[in-house]
């Protein structure tokens, strides 16, 4: 269950690059619509103390909203890096083939790699995950964001939820707080719209686990 608390209006972080602004306005919505597989088909949200079960089309809208939030966080992290030749610490999780493809596509310098899981006893199929930590250039980070914002991307969901920028000196603690606040406000306003526009696939529900946005 997701808890969303109402907060006063705060200024959104200004996006420094016009190209990125275009991605957020146009691309984020387009690429998220390409997602066709959702492991969980409902989400329980708490808005101002009232709980709702979001189902069907409303759930698809919620996943699109969640995906756009993840992209916005990456964009904010990118814009905090002023030096064009900066090297940024990153982490990525995927299958062995996905990790290798990601490394090659974005020229990742791997500093640590770990495999979790292994082969199934009967089929010998590999069911583990590979976790890589490394460094990515600012130019290649922009390429990741560009690919995620593209409606033609075929692996957006895998990259979006399995790639992250690690803690670094480019983002101050104050900037991280602002990004967190922006994400909370973004999700709250988006969920409010879903509740208003998708009443046929939303029902009041018992409040379950509590997860802060």
Please provide residue 155's backbone torsions phi and psi, each rounded to the nearest 5 degrees.
Answer: -125, 30
Tell me the fold of 85-168: Alpha-Beta Plaits (3.30.70)
Whether the model pTM is above 0.95: no
178 closest CA partner among 6, 68, 7, 13:
13
Q: Per-residue pLDDT tens for 84-106?
A: 999 999 999 998 889 999 999 99
Q: Per-residue pLDDT tens for 172-193?
A: 888 888 888 999 999 999 999 9
Range with lowest mean pLDDT among 24-33, 110-119, 163-172, 200-209: 24-33
CATH 3.30.70 maps onto the chain at 85-168
Q: How far apart are CA 18 and CA 75, in angstroms?
A: 12
pLDDT of residue 211: 42
pLDDT of residue 3: 53
Map the chain to HEC letters.
Answer: CEEECCCCCCCCCCCCCHHHHHHHHHHHHHHHCCCCCCCCCCEEEEECCEEEEECHHHHHHHHHHHHHHHHHHHHHHHHCCCCCCCEEEEEEEECHHHHHHHHHHCCCEEEEEEEECCECCCCCCECCEEEEEEEEEHHHHHHHHHHHHCCCCCCHHHHHHHEEECCCCCCCHHHHHHHHHHHHHHHHHHHHHHHHHCHHHEEECCCCCCEEC
Q: Among all chains, which residue has been given the structure tokens 């101002």?
A: 48
Indicate if the pLDDT at residue 138 is higher than 70: yes
pLDDT of residue 206: 84
Q: 177 vs 23, which has greater pLDDT?
A: 177
Q: 92 vs 120, which has greater pLDDT?
A: 92
**CA dihedral of 52, 58, 63, 68, whole degrees rounded to 10:** -100
Indicate if the pLDDT at residue 141 is higher than 60: yes
Indicate if the pLDDT at residue 7 is higher than 50: no
Q: How far apart are CA 136 and CA 30, in angstroms?
A: 26
Q: Please give the share of the chain, as a percent, with pLDDT higher than 70.
A: 71
- Contact predicate 213/180, CB 8 Å: no
Q: Per-residue pLDDT tens for 50-90?
A: 888 999 999 999 988 998 999 999 999 999 898 999 999 99
């Amino acid at each position: 269950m997701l808890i969303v608390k109402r907060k006063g209006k705060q200024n959104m972080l200004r996006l420094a690059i016009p190209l990125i602004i275009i991605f957020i306005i146009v691309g984020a919505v387009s690429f998220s619509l390409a997602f066709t597989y959702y492991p969980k088909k409902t989400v329980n949200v708490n808005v101002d103390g009232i709980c709702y079960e979001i189902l069907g089309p409303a759930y698809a809208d919620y996943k699109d909203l969640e995906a756009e939030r993840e992209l916005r966080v990456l964009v904010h992290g990118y814009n905090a890096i002023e030096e064009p030749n900066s090297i940024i610490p990153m982490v990525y999780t995927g299958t062995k083939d996905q990790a290798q493809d990601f490394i090659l596509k974005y020229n990742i310098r791997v500093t640590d790699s770990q495999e979790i899981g292994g082969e199934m006893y009967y089929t010998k199929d590999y069911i583990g995950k590979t976790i890589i930590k490394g460094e990515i250039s600012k130019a290649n980070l922009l390429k990741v964001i560009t690919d995620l914002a593209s409606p033609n991307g075929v692996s957006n969901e895998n990259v979006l939820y399995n790639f992250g920028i690690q803690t670094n000196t480019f983002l101050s603690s104050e900037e991280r707080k602002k990004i967190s606040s922006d994400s909370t406000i973004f999700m709250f306003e988006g969920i409010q719209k879903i509740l208003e526009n998708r009443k046929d696939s939303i029902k009041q529900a018992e409040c379950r686990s509590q997860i802060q946005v």
